[in-house]
Structure 1
Amino acid sequence: MSVTTSIHSDGPKAQGFIEKIGIPKPLVWGFVGLLLFMIGDGVESGYIAPFLADNGAGGETNAAVIITVYGLMVTLGSWLSGALSDVWGPRRVMIIGLTLWAVLQVLFLAVALPTENFTLMLVIYGLRGVAYPLFAYGFLVWVLGASPANRLGSAVGWFYFAFTGGLPTLGSLVASGTVPFIGPYWTFWVALSLVVLGGIFALVGLRNAQGGGRQAAPHITTGRSLIDSVAIAFTNPRVGLGCLVRVINTAPQFGLFVFFPTIFAVDLGFGTSGWLQLVFILGASNIFANLFFGVLSDRLGWHRTLRWFGCIGSAVAVLAFYFLPQYVGDQYWVSALCAAFFGITLAGFTPISVLMSLMAPAQKGNSIAVLNLGAGAATFVGPGIVALFLAPLGAGGVTIIFAVLYVLAGISVRWLQVPDEAQRVVEEGGTLQAFAGDPAATTGSAKTQG
């Protein structure tokens, strides 16, 4: 008999507003700080490439090299954030991320840009890519460990609401207001102020919250944790499968961005501005859907939400996004609805973070490290599929491949099983801190929603 992995809480009836909307009260200032931090980090996202090209990088090609290195460092930082949170604790990892971001930003603005030195820009800006994942995903480990297990979906939904609300959405909005008045260079300093302010809000507000310390057993060293953060994908096949599901989550999105601009801007005649508006619609719909599906998953079940709304929903949405506009022609509103639909269904993958932490609750950080590796791999896998199959199969064929991947992910959800011990914590409304330092606690059988 299958068992649902989402049990209603039997906690106190007199809940405050914060708890009712799914935010763990001790962590509330962490979410506020994360939003401010990510707004600051996202300020530059809309203009960094042309700014670098015109201010010392030596053209668009070199600017692209700098941004590529930055992206690789983001992937590295995303992995390290989980592995280091296990042995150093999320609080220390967040402090390191905040400090690195601030110091490297000052060096970038005070040294690299004024000298227009390409090498310095490459090294300093590239290294800064490690910083924001340490802060943001370090906090995610904290959220997963300290939130009531039966409300993890809501907590993770709020995490991604703050994360994506800042980067790039509100960050770009801030830049649109400051760049015309103070210029792009001084806007970078505004970004630094927002990041520091967000970091202070989070770390001061979380000073009394449980879950910020070491997660791993006393005998686990930093080197051991780094090795385990990769090995866990093989020693715990459920975690490895979860990583593949995370790759499939956004690989099609990155792949579509390779050839969809031509289809919508040129073939359908909407122009570059029309395509960029579709990207905004996709992103904006995803922000609020992350929160919605996070809360819904606690009631409907994490497996069901992931399978039907995330995997199967995205399969339908990606097909609609390509084929419906082709059928109706220049009806822009149809394309806008399809973009919003795809953004919403992508948010149906929100419970994958919850399931990854529950499948190995004594190694939450390492599980999130693997999850983040999957997120980084998606940026390469999606465009790689396009490079291999666009010429022989065409745009429609590539879109169908992406839809099939989503269906396969939906089928695989049945194997993302939760150990009995973790399931009991969910039913009792406890937190995953109960498993800190006890990897042997989750070696028993596992359950899922069938």
Structure 2
Amino acid sequence: MQSKHYWFGLPKHLLWGFIAIAIFMSGDGFEMAFLSKHITDMGFTPAQSAMVFTMYGLAAGLAAWASGVVAELITPQKAMLIGFVTWVVMHALFMTLGLGMRNYPLMLLFYGIRGLAYPLFIYSFMLMLVQVVPRERLAAATGWFWAMYSIGIGVVGSYLPSLTIPAFGETGTLWMAIAWVTGGGLIAFFSLRNVPVDRSRVNLPLREKITEMSRAVTILFSNRDVFYACLIRIINTLSLFGFAIVMPLLFVDRLGFTISEWLQIWAVFFFVTIFTNIFWGIMGEYIGWIRQVRWFGCLGMAISSLTFYYLPVWVGA
């Protein structure tokens, strides 16, 4: 798996891009495992807290859906820059005018718009991988992509707040996220700006660009395999991000864990995925992606999701 240009499937010339993903997603993930409880502690109901994440999820889903086409039309580098700037601006507005003023409509608005940002940033980099990495190397490179994602949003993004919340509080930790996202965004901007990507669609007339954008919608109905793949992805991802909303309320409010202990549990969860993302990226080249998703991604996730909930309920803190 090693060669002059690859290290266990990692494209060496895109190394700093992978690092940028990890740092960016660290900042994006700071609030993931405690924001729902933070909002309820401010006096809002669990239903209102869940609605904040629903708006965020809808926006993130829309951005993930369209990010590939957008990146093709303006280049992955420009799409990543737009995602980075949007994240920083919307997070600052969410903190000051939303949480800072306890204004629920503005919380929904700015956190929802911020949901457009991270998919545009990371999935534009994914498109760059597709464009510049040979097909026979793509599965392993994709595994590294998800490993960096897990390091960021799950490990650093969860474990570091378990240390900073006792020191700086939840609000201070949320503000600290901007520094991490800015670091990742700047690394990506300077390290990837000269990567040769497909620019064949950049200079298309506006009408043709709109037609290309519509492909993000029509492909779901014209390609059955893409539709099923998207459906499976949506269902499986619901369990992951749903846990980040529900489990803090279970572990802290019902089972008696501290918020720092819960964040460390969440960090361990994602720490394991660093290695399994790389492992399954490589294994997918040998056993096939469909078999891998069917038996391990679907059935395995169903069993582990039930275990993650019921085991602590039965055993306790």
Same-fold call, TM > 0.5?
yes
Q: What amino acid sits opposite 1:79 in the alignment?
A: W
Tell me how far apart the structure 1 counterparts of residues 112 and 20 of structure 2 sit (CA, whole Å). 24
1:314 to 1:69, Cα distance in 2 relative to 1, 3 A: closer
Tell me how far apart the structure 1 counterparts of residues 37 and 240 of structure 2 sit (CA, whole Å). 21
Secondary structure of 1:211's counterpart equals: coil
Tell me how far apart the structure 2 counterparts of residues 318 and 63 of structure 1 sit (CA, whole Å). 26
Q: By how many angstroms is 1:194 displaced? A: 0.3
2:177 to 191, 198, 219: 191
Secondary structure of 2:30's counterpart equals: helix
Q: By how many angstroms is 1:111 displaced? A: 3.1
Matched-pair contact (CA < 8 Å) for 2:236–2:298: no
Q: By how many angstroms is 1:218 displaced? A: 3.5
Tell me how far apart the structure 1 counterparts of residues 12 and 279 of structure 2 sit (CA, whole Å). 19
Mapped pair 1:80 → 2:66: yes
Tell me how far apart the structure 2 counterparts of residues 121 and 322 of structure 1 sit (CA, whole Å). 30
Q: By how many angstroms is 1:99 displaced? A: 0.6
Q: By how many angstroms is 1:272 displaced? A: 6.8
2:290 to 294, 307, 311: 307
Secondary structure of 1:115's counterpart equals: coil
- The runs of at least 4 consecutive aligned structure 1 residues that moved more than 4 Å come to 212-217, 247-251, 254-258, 270-273, 275-282, 318-325
Tell me how far apart the structure 1 counterparts of residues 189 and 275 of structure 2 sit (CA, whole Å). 25
Aligned to 1:180: 166
Secondary structure of 1:210's counterpart equals: coil
Mapped pair 1:15 → 2:4: yes
2:39 to 18, 41, 52: 52
1:164 to 150, 164, 184: 150
Structure 1 residue runs without a partner (length 5+): 1-7, 333-450
1:284 to 1:214, Cα distance in 2 relative to 1, 3 A: farther
Tell me how far apart the structure 1 counterparts of residues 306 and 199 of structure 2 sit (CA, whole Å). 50
Mapped pair 1:223 → 2:210: yes
TM-score by length of 1: 0.59
Q: By how many angstroms is 1:271 displaced? A: 4.7
1:221 to 1:168, Cα distance in 2 relative to 1, 3 A: farther
Tell me how far apart the structure 2 counterparts of residues 315 and 80 of structure 1 sit (CA, whole Å). 25
Name whichever of 115-124 and 138-147 sits farther off.
115-124
Q: By how many angstroms is 1:80 displaced? A: 2.2
1:205 to 184, 187, 191: 191
Tell me how far apart the structure 2 counterparts of residues 190 and 85 of structure 1 sit (CA, whole Å). 28
1:316 to 1:184, Cα distance in 2 relative to 1, 3 A: closer
Aligned to 2:272: 285
1:240 to 1:194, Cα distance in 2 relative to 1, 3 A: same
Q: By how many angstroms is 1:35 displaced? A: 0.3
Tell me how far apart the structure 2 counterparts of residues 319 and 93 of structure 1 sit (CA, whole Å). 34
Matched-pair contact (CA < 8 Å) for 1:39–1:171: yes
Secondary structure of 1:46's counterpart equals: coil
Deviations 1:304-335 (A, max 9, x none): 3323333123565357558999xx9x997xxx
Name whichever of 112-121 and 129-138 sits farther off.
112-121
Q: By how many angstroms is 1:215 displaced? A: 5.0
Tell me how far apart the structure 2 counterparts of residues 106 and 81 of structure 1 sit (CA, whole Å). 23
Q: What amino acid sits opposite 1:44 in the alignment?
A: E
Matched-pair contact (CA < 8 Å) for 1:91–1:212: no
RMSD: 3.6
Tell me how far apart the structure 1 counterparts of residues 201 and 255 of structure 2 sit (CA, whole Å). 50
1:64 to 1:287, Cα distance in 2 relative to 1, 3 A: same
Tell me how far apart the structure 2 counterparts of residues 86 and 198 of structure 1 sit (CA, whole Å). 22
Deviations 1:158-190 (A, max 9, x none): 110111221133201111111111122121221
Q: By how many angstroms is 1:90 displaced? A: 1.1
| Alignment of structure 1 residues 349-364 onto 2, 5 Å | none
| Alignment of structure 1 residues 135-150 onto 2, 5 Å | 135-150=121-136
Aligned to 2:300: 317
Matched-pair contact (CA < 8 Å) for 2:72–2:201: yes
Tell me how far apart the structure 1 counterparts of residues 220 and 74 of structure 2 sit (CA, whole Å). 21
Q: What amino acid sits opposite 1:305 in the alignment?
A: G
1:125 to 107, 111, 122: 111
Name whichever of 280-289 and 31-40 sits farther off.
280-289
Give the % identical residues: 29
Q: By how many angstroms is 1:243 displaced? A: 2.8
Q: By how many angstroms is 1:247 displaced? A: 4.2
Q: What amino acid sits opposite 2:11 in the alignment?
A: P
Secondary structure of 1:221's counterpart equals: helix
Q: By how many angstroms is 1:237 displaced? A: 3.2
Q: By how many angstroms is 1:217 displaced? A: 8.5
Tell me how far apart the structure 2 counterparts of residues 237 and 191 of structure 1 sit (CA, whole Å). 39
1:112 to 1:200, Cα distance in 2 relative to 1, 3 A: same
Tell me how far apart the structure 2 counterparts of residues 193 and 271 of structure 1 sit (CA, whole Å). 33
Tell me how far apart the structure 1 counterparts of residues 24 and 44 of structure 2 sit (CA, whole Å). 30
- Higher radius of gyration, 1 or 2: 1
Matched-pair contact (CA < 8 Å) for 1:85–1:214: no
| Alignment of structure 1 residues 373-392 onto 2, 5 Å | none
Structure 2 residue runs without a partner (length 5+): none
Mapped pair 1:25 → 2:8: no
Deviations 1:312-366 (A, max 9, x none): 23565357558999xx9x997xxxxxxxxxxxxxxxxxxxxxxxxxxxxxxxxxx
1:295 to 1:121, Cα distance in 2 relative to 1, 3 A: same
